[in-house]
Amino acid sequence: MPSPADGYALITGASSGIGAEIAREYARRGVPLILTARREDRLQALADELRAQVPVEIIRADLAEPDAPAQLCNAISERGLAVRILVNNAGYGVIGRYTSQPWDAHAAFLQVMIHAVSELTWRLLPSLRAFPNGRILNVASFAGLAPGSNGQTLYAAAKAYLIKFSESLAQENADRGLKVCALCPGFTYSEFHDVTGTREMMSHLPRSLWLQADHVARAGVDAVEGNRVVVVPGWRYKLLHGVARHLSDHARLGLMRRNSSKIRRA
């Protein structure tokens, strides 16, 4: 059994999907875990599964609450735990055009996707830097590399923020041995589209565009360990990203405008 003195991996949004698979990936690699999410029953089930491999702590937190990042860090400190790896994974989407949702829905989204990520990272940086092999893995999205689409207005913008945030953190902390990576998957089998109510719409997309959550998790962990600052899992998405970079902004926006209705509910 690995020693908790080697530091824990804190994974937000660990109750399902990519977050749960990242937890499983780190457990396979012998890294002790702190799992956090809103659904404590899901966290407990995952902890029970992984405790045969590594020490696991669970702390329920709803990152949509402004005080949650500070309370989470206080709970970690009170338990005498040290975080070596931070995985900012918690996230979701708000469907529809910008004014079709109340501002409170957008404010909660921004709290989870931007404010909580930024504050958790700021609060935990001293702990991460204290280890010679500290890591930050920010789960962004291919959407952050593509043009913004019609519907889910803030989603691509928030994911683009994560990518730029990761790039800056990687540069600022390179001399500390702290490695930072933005993981940018495309469509991935998870509960994400059930939560946003777009499962039926998304089911019409070609199966070749869908990624498996465990493959995405492994790609992200491998990338941050390999000191890659931005990683796009899946050869199809790598190809799409490569081709898109050679198109004009006008052409890329035109393609997104013509195809938004296939992937977004306006």
Q: Hey, what are 37's tokens?
A: 């999410």
Distance CA 69, CA 73 (A): 6
Distance CA 142, CA 124 (A): 26
CB atoms within 10 A of CB 258: 9
> Catalytic: 237?
no
CB atoms within 10 A of CB 59: 18
Alpha carbon separation from 77 to 80, 100, 193 (Å, rounded): 5, 41, 35
Nearest Cα residue to 2 out of 58, 74, 50, 59: 50
Residue 115 amino acid letter: H
* Beta bridge mates, 35: 11, 58
Q: 188 with 213: CB under 8 angstroms?
A: yes
> Of these residues, 8, 26, 155, 237, which one is catalytic?
155
Distance CA 49, CA 67 (A): 30
Q: Hey, what are 213's tokens?
A: 């959550």
DSSP 197: T
Question: Mind telling me the catalytic residues?
Answer: 155
